[in-house]
Structure 1
């Protein structure tokens, strides 16, 4: 294995024709140059120079290395420049996997903030509902995953391979047609809507909704199932049913003929960002996590999300 410092000294010796001239140009002593060339010869296992009178002549092995030295040093220099650019956030790539409502709310602001300050960074977005998004992270298909959980203690991924960055608590809201008799109320008990037909969302949200209805003493009549926010609100606006929706989802697009009210008993989902343990120290990953935290804070200040107690990280 070559030491790049030795190759650089070798290239200078070849270019100048002597150890003494190379020493002057590089600011070394001549014995230091000689020692480095001996070390290089030990690493390659053969002589690179032979003495001819007062001068030097390259051996066959030396000729081979001389032909490649410039390329080796150029490749090392290019690699160093690229790594420096990544470290200084002038370049790099970050892949995010998020669930749809996060793609519509958190991601655009976070990406815009990063691109404004660091236009050389490439950001790629994939979509998947949890737990698939976290599984994608563990497979190495993305660098940061956004996911939500209900009942944080029982559903929170606990792999030692994960670093978890809590973002906020996302309350659930009842969606009603604006003309509904309960639309004037400030909050609505789930049991008050036991006789209504319901529009259910994604599989995970639907499962949570059915459990909540059971706790409230009824089995919901689910007439429609869709995880399309616009479709849910259009169905509610048309008066064909009511729905439960996370506030973050509802905040992205609001139908003028739909109203939202807090549900009683209060319920919410936890939204967090995930990366692999240790990867939070990679500059571009750290930048993305910080951008997501900043957007989450703005959402809390604007009333789009609730503050989440710190959960810490697994590492």
Structure 2
């Protein structure tokens, strides 16, 4: 006859174990629960076994190829949700005290944002959190998300064409604004025109921008039945505008890039596309249980910035 286990009333369960049980209740899978908490599946299984030993009651049971919580497991998961929420709120409040009264906000952004959105962030930062300094780096989206993945920045301001962004595992993209893309060409060739149909420019020479903008040009052209003849490439927007003004090629240029350039060359024109094409601007950060005060601060600053000054629309 087996000897019944005696439950240990002291230190029987901690907040991590409550998080695990709550994650199991919401995901229904050891693998998914482990992934959501940034733990390995063996580590999750071991923690559950330890709690079962201490409480002398099973918390999970097999169901086909998966698992489910027992009645005892569900009780702990239900109460765990409240306990974990209270702990997270307390930690967030403490982080606010530390993070927004000092320290560094590490941000990376793309070139046209450097001349528009980032200075606006700096002004709001000086007003709302003057003890926090902004450490800023410039990189196109692939390089920016790599810096975020490697932990070198707190968040990354990027642009994305039609959901094509490749984001690091465990990250989240917060959409902020939408901007239109225009066709830029020599003024003399735009006389009498108020819009541009991309297919009408299939025989033109083209100027391509950065890696993602080049990819967007290729995709847009393919949708209109042609392959663009790219003869010039530059991620320097003023240079691109000057090249288009010279008349040898045309280019697709997003609205923020046009705003950053401030004015078009006198002999260039920008025509809206029909049907319109868009680019989304947003913030990428790591999706953690306790969002860092730096990320929360950056999101708050961005939420107060009026993008209409650069012809940006709020993201849907």
Q: State whether TM-score is above 0.5.
A: yes
Larger radius of gyration: 1
Structure-1 residue corresponding to 2:299? 289
Aligned-partner SS, 1:179: helix
Are 2:280 and 1:270 equivalent residues in the alignment? yes
Is there any run of 5+ residues in structure 2 with no aligned partner, and where?
1-93
Taking the TM superposition and a 5 Å limit, the aligned residue runs for 1:147-162 are: 147-152=158-163, 155=165, 157=167, 159=169, 161-162=170-171
Show the 5 A alignment for 1:1-315: 87=98, 89-152=100-163, 155=165, 157=167, 159=169, 161-180=170-189, 182-253=190-261, 254-257=263-266, 258-278=268-288, 281-295=291-305, 298-299=306-307, 301-302=308-309, 304-309=311-316
Which runs of 5 or more residues in structure 1 are unaligned? Answer: 1-82, 310-315
CA RMSD, Structure 1 to Structure 2 (Å): 2.3
Count of residue pairs brought into register by the alignment: 221
Q: In the aligned structure 2, how far is the partner of 1:280 from the partner of 1:222?
A: 46
Q: Contact 2:184–2:251 (CA<8 Å) still a contact in 1?
A: yes
CA distance in 2, matches of 1:216, 1:187: 16
Other-structure match for 1:59? none
Inter-partner Cα distance in structure 2 for 1:199 and 1:288? 34
- Structure 1, residues 181-233: CA drift from partner, whole Å, max 9, x if none? x3432211011122222111111111220121122122222121000011001
Quick check: 2:179–2:255 contact (8 Å CA) kept in 1? yes
Contact 2:208 2:214 in 1 (8 A): yes
TM-score under structure 2 length normalisation: 0.64
**Offset at 1:104?**
1.8
Q: 1:140 to 1:179 in 2, by over 3 A?
A: same
Q: Deviations over 1:225-274 (max 9, x none)?
A: 00001100111122222110111111111223222111123211221101
Confirm or deny: 8 A CA contact 1:280 1:286 kept in the other structure: no
Q: Aligned partners of 2:314, 2:191: CA distance in 1, in Å?
A: 26
Hey, what's the Cα distance between the residues in 1 that align with 2:216 and 2:273? 14
Q: Cα gap change, 1:213/1:276 in structure 2, threshold over 3 Å: closer, same or farther?
A: same
In structure 1, distance between residues paired with 2:224 and 2:127: 48
> 1:121-147: per-residue Cα shift (whole Å, max 9, x none)?
111111221222112112100001011
Cα shift at 1:280: 7.3
Distance (whole Å) between structure 1 residues aligned to residue 144 and residue 220 of structure 2: 25
Deviation of 1:165 after TM superposition, in Å, equals 1.6
